[in-house]
Amino acid sequence: MITRTLPAVAPTEAATAITAALATPAPTGDGEEQRALQRARAFAEPLLTGEVLDTGEPVLDHADAVVEILRHIGGNTDLQVCVYLVYTTPYLARPREAIAKAFGEPFADVAVETHKLVELQRQARRRVVAEASNPKAAPNALEAAQTENVRKMLLAFSRDLRVVLLRLASRLQTLRYFAAVKREPPQALAAESLHVFAPLANRLGIWQLKWELEDLAFRFLEPETYKHIARLLDEKRVEREQHVEQVRQRLEQALTSLGLRVQVQGRPKHIYSIVKKMRGKSLDFDHVYDLRALRVIVETVDECYRVLAWVHEHFTPVPEEFDDYIAKPKPNGYQSLHTVVRDEQGRAFEIQIRTRAMHEHAEHGVAAHWAYKEAGTKGYAGVTAGSSYDAKIAVLRQLLAWQRDLGGGVSHALFDDRIYVLTPQAAIVELPKGATPVDFAYAVHTDLGHRCRGARVDGQMVPLNTPLANGQTVEIIAAKEGGPSRDWLNPEAGYLVSHRAKSKVRAWFNAQAAAENVARGREQVERLLQREGKTSVNLDELALEMGFDAADALFEAVGKEAVSLRAIEQRLRPAEPVPAAEVLSPKPSRQRAAGGPSGVVVVGVGALMTTLARCCKPAPPDDIRGFVTRGKGVSVHRADCPDFLALAKRQPARVIDVEWAAPTGGGAHAPVYAVDVGVQAQDRQGLLRDISEAFAREKINVVGVQTQSVKGVAWMTFTVEVNDATRVQRVMAVLNDVPGVLKVWRR
pLDDT along the chain (747 residues), means of 10: 36 36 40 83 92 92 93 83 91 89 88 81 65 52 53 59 85 94 88 84 79 91 86 70 82 89 79 76 63 85 92 89 88 84 82 88 58 31 37 49 46 53 75 91 91 91 90 87 89 89 89 84 83 79 79 82 76 56 41 48 66 84 85 83 85 86 62 86 85 85 83 85 84 85 86
Tell me how crowded residue 129 is: count the other CB atoms within 10 A of its CB.
15
Give CA–CA dist 47/58, Å, rounded: 12
3-state helix, strand, coil in the chain (%, to 5): 50, 15, 35
Where in the chain is CATH 3.30.70.260?
672-746
Whose CA is closest to 200, among 168, 163, 244? Answer: 168
Predicted local confidence at residue 298, as pLDDT = 92
Handedness of CA 270, 272, 277, 283 (dihedral sign): positive
Contact yes or no for 716/695 (Cβ under 8 A): no
Local structure of residue 715 (DSSP, 8 states): E
Q: Is the peptide bond before 424 cis (omega within 30 degrees of 0)?
A: no
Predicted local confidence at residue 113, as pLDDT = 82
Q: Three-state DSSP class for 673?
A: strand
Give CA–CA dist 22/405, Å, rounded: 44
CA dihedral 157, 117, 146, 439 (to 10 degrees): -70
Count of alpha carbons within 13 angstroms of residue 592, beta-carbon side: 8
Handedness of CA 421, 423, 429, 432 (dihedral sign): negative
Residue 247 vs residues 292, 316, 506: alpha-carbon distances, Å = 10, 14, 75
Q: Three-state DSSP class for 444?
A: helix
Which amino acid would we find at residue 115? H
Largest CA distance in the chain: 121
Predicted local confidence at residue 529, as pLDDT = 81
DSSP β-ladder status, 624-628 and 293-298: unpaired
Which amino acid would we find at residue 398? Q
Where in the chain is CATH 1.10.3210.10?
11-220
Residue 77 burial (10 A CB sphere; 0-12, 13-18, 19+): buried
Predicted local confidence at residue 43, as pLDDT = 92
Predicted local confidence at residue 29, as pLDDT = 47
Residue positions counted in the chain:
747
Residue 600 vs residues 657, 665, 725: alpha-carbon distances, Å = 11, 15, 15
Contact yes or no for 571/542 (Cβ under 8 A): yes
Whose CA is closest to 447, among 486, 505, 497? Answer: 505
pTM (2 d.p.)? 0.49
Predicted local confidence at residue 477, as pLDDT = 93
Whose CA is closest to 488, among 419, 433, 439, 423? Answer: 439
- What values do phi and psi take at 584, rounded to 5? -95, 120
DSSP β-ladder status, 741-746 and 701-710: unpaired
Where in the chain is CATH 3.30.460.10?
231-368
Contact yes or no for 67/84 (Cβ under 8 A): yes
Predicted local confidence at residue 142, as pLDDT = 44
- CATH class for the region spanning 11-220: mainly alpha
Residue 410 burial (10 A CB sphere; 0-12, 13-18, 19+): exposed
Give CA–CA dist 238/233, Å, rounded: 10
Residue 412 vs residues 32, 149, 402, 432, 597: alpha-carbon distances, Å = 42, 15, 12, 12, 61
Domain 418-497 carries which CATH code?
3.10.20.30
- CATH class for the region spanning 231-368: alpha beta
- CATH class for the region spanning 672-746: alpha beta
Predicted local confidence at residue 285, as pLDDT = 64
Handedness of CA 111, 114, 118, 124 (dihedral sign): positive
Chain centroid to Cα 699, Å, comes to 43
Where in the chain is CATH 3.10.20.30?
418-497
